[in-house]
Amino acid sequence: MEAKHLAIITQSDDCWEKLADEYQLWDLDSFVARARIIAPHIFFDEPEFSEIEGEIQNEDGNYILTWEDGMDECMRIYQK
């Protein structure tokens, strides 16, 4: 499945903990809106369609959030 890859954040990013806390408080649409405010630097200037990477953790009508645990935990945000 392909979707527009909007953002990526890893556990080593300074905003990881703040975004993890925000994720617990909001639905996916609201979380993405909050993430754009809190950490605009994690979003790509020109997102492109790509194959979805990682395990889908959350999905709604607009967005897909994936999680991957390798050497560093990673979250990706995609737009359908």
Judge residue 17's burial from the number of C-beta atoms within 10 Å of its C-beta, 0-12 exposed, 13-18 middle, 19 or more buried.
exposed
48 contacts: CB under 8 Å, gap ≥ 6: 4, 5
What secondary structure does DSSP assign to 49-74, as a single string? EEE--SEEEEE-SSEEEEEEESSSEE
**How many structural domains compose the chain?**
1
User: What tens digit of pLDDT does each residue of 62-72 get?
Assistant: 999 999 987 77
| Segments in 1-80 forming alpha helices (H) | 16-25, 28-38
Where does the pLDDT of residue 22 fall: very low under 50, low under 70, confident under 90, or very high at 90 and above? very high
Both structure tokens of 37:
């405010």
Query: Do residues 54 and 66 lie in contact, with contact meaning Cβ atoms separated by under 8 Å?
Result: yes
Q: Which residue range is the domain that position 26 belongs to?
A: 2-79
What pTM did the predictor assign?
0.91
What is the pLDDT at residue 37? 97
